[in-house]
Amino acid sequence: MGMYPEYMVAPIREDLTSAGFEQLMTPEEVEQVLSENEGTVLVAVNSVCGCAAAKARPALKMAVASSDKRPDKLVTVFAGMEGEAVAKAREHMLPYPPSSPSIALFKNGELVHMIERYHIEGNDLTRIVDNLKGAFEDYC
């Protein structure tokens, strides 16, 4: 059981799933996706906070939609809801501390790019999109 009622987070989840992100609900799902050793995976740690709504989710959708190169898989976990799935994703994001929202790019099972909350709330939308597109260009 999460911190928020499902009816409240359903539209927030859909904001990313409607853009092609797969919602991972269990630690087993997270481990299966992040333990693959081929290809690229973009992980969005979604959140109910304002910077997720105003910056992180729009930046994710804009970067994915406008990039010539993009990750092979797009997945999301929801902070404050599926705690075990989020914890498993964060294990793969070490040494970065827990942060939500946050965005991680993995290549061949290794973390290669990380955008923490302070990179999101402290930047404008265009810079976050450019950051993601640059990472896609470098790693995808």
Whether the bond into 101 is cis, omega within 30 of 0? yes
- Helix (H) or strand (E) run with residue 114 in it: strand 110-115
* DSSP state string for 5-26: -HHHHHHHHHHHHTTTPEEP-S
What amino acid is encoded at 57 in this protein?
R
> Which residues are identified as catalytic?
49, 51
From CA 140, how far away is CA 126, in angstroms rounded?
20
Nearest CA to 77 among 124, 31, 131, 40? 31
